[in-house]
C-alpha cells in the first residue's frame, strides 16, 4: 500500500470520526495494520500533519482536537472565501454544472425525514464541492474543500439530529440565486448558510474542550 493510499484512508477515517479527535496514532501499529514498513506510514502522517488532520506529539501523532478556536478560525475563513467562490460560480458555471446543481436541488427536496446526519452532511458537501468547482479557480476550490472537510468533524461530533429543512433552506436559496444571477440574494444566502452551519455545530456540541 503506497503512502497516498494510506493518507487517503486515514484522512477519511479522521473526517468521519472513525478515528476520534485526540486519538494517538502509533506508527508501528499502523504499519502492521497496512502491511507495510514504517516509512510509507510516516510519509502519510507527515502529509496529514501538514494539513492539520493530526499534530505531532513526540514520536507519535495525535488526531487534531475539536476546539472553539479551530471552529472560529474555519468559520471566519469561510465567511470571506466561500461567498466569493459562490459569486464566481454564479458567473462562471457551465451548462453541465447548472444541470448538476438543479439535480442537487431535487436531491435535497427528496431527502427523507429519517435521513441520518451523515447522509445530510454528505449531500451538503456534494453541494459545496460542486460550487467550489464551478468557481473555476482550482486553488480556491482545493482550499475550501479541505476547510469544509475539517468542518465535517464538528457536524458529526454530537448525537443531536440535524434538522434537514433548516439546514438546507439557504442552500436552496443559493441555487435559486445562481439560476437567476441574483448576486445580492446570493451573498445574503451564502452568509446565512455559513451561520446555520455554525449554529448547527454549537447546537450539537455546546461544550468544546
Give the Cα-Cα-Cα angle 131, 191, 150 (nearest 5 degrees): 65
The pLDDT of residue 54: 97
For the chain, the domain total comes to 2
Same domain, 59 and 137: no
The pLDDT of residue 117: 86
Instruction: State the residue for C-alpha cell 479541505.
Output: 146
The pLDDT of residue 205: 42
What does the pLDDT profile of the chain (209 residues) look like in tens digits? Answer: 899 999 999 999 999 999 999 999 999 999 999 999 999 999 999 999 999 999 998 878 999 999 888 888 988 999 999 999 999 999 999 999 999 999 999 999 998 888 888 899 999 999 999 999 999 999 999 999 999 998 888 888 866 778 888 889 999 999 999 999 999 999 999 999 988 877 777 764 434 34
> CATH number, domain at 178?
1.20.120.530
Same domain, 106 and 12: no
**Cα-based distances in Å from 118 to 12, 26, 160:** 13, 28, 12
Same domain, 181 and 194: yes
Quote the domain boundaries for residue 10.
Answer: 3-63
> CATH number, domain at 21?
1.10.10.10
Helix axes 117-134, 138-155, angle to 10 degrees: 170
The secondary structure element, H or E, covering residue 149 is helix 138-155
Report helix, strand and coil shares of the chain as percent, to nearest 5.
70, 5, 25
- Asked whether 105 and 143 are in contact (CB, 8 A), the reply is no
Residue where one domain finishes, among candidates 63, 82, 102: 63
The pLDDT of residue 203: 64
Same domain, 10 and 74: no
**Residue at 209 is within a domain:** no
The pLDDT of residue 198: 79
Same domain, 192 and 118: yes
Output the pTM of the full model.
0.85
Same domain, 81 and 130: yes
Same domain, 198 and 99: yes
**Residue at 44 is within a domain:** yes
Same domain, 72 and 58: no
Give CA–CA dist 112/54, Å, rounded: 35
- Asked whether 131 and 175 are in contact (CB, 8 A), the reply is no
Same domain, 107 and 196: yes
Amino acid at each position: 500500500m503506497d503512502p497516498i493510499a494510506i493518507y487517503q484512508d486515514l484522512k477519511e477515517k479522521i473526517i468521519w470520526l472513525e478515528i476520534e479527535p485526540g486519538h494517538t496514532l502509533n506508527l508501528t501499529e499502523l504499519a502492521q495494520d497496512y502491511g507495510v514498513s514504517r516509512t510509507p506510514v510516516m510519509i502519510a502522517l507527515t502529509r496529514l500533519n501538514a494539513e492539520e488532520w493530526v499534530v505531532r506529539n513526540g514520536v507519535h501523532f495525535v488526531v487534531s482536537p475539536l476546539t472553539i478556536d479551530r471552529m472560529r478560525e474555519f468559520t471566519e475563513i469561510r465567511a470571506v472565501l466561500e461567498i466569493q467562490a459562490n459569486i464566481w460560480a454564479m458567473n462562471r458555471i457551465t451548462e453541465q454544472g447548472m444541470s448538476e446543481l438543479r439535480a442537487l436541488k431535487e436531491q435535497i427536496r427528496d431527502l427523507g425525514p429519517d435521513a441520518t446526519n451523515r447522509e445530510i452532511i454528505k449531500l451538503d458537501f456534494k453541494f459545496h464541492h460542486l460550487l467550489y468547482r464551478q468557481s473555476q479557480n482550482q486553488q480556491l476550490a482545493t482550499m475550501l474543500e479541505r476547510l469544509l472537510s475539517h468542518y465535517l468533524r464538528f457536524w458529526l461530533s454530537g448525537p443531536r439530529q440535524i434538522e434537514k429543512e433548516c439546514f438546507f433552506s439557504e442552500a436552496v436559496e443559493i441555487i435559486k440565486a445562481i439560476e437567476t444571477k441574483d448576486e445580492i440574494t446570493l451573498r445574503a444566502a451564502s452568509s446565512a448558510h455559513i451561520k446555520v452551519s455554525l449554529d448547527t455545530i454549537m447546537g450539537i456540541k455546546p461544550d468544546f474542550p
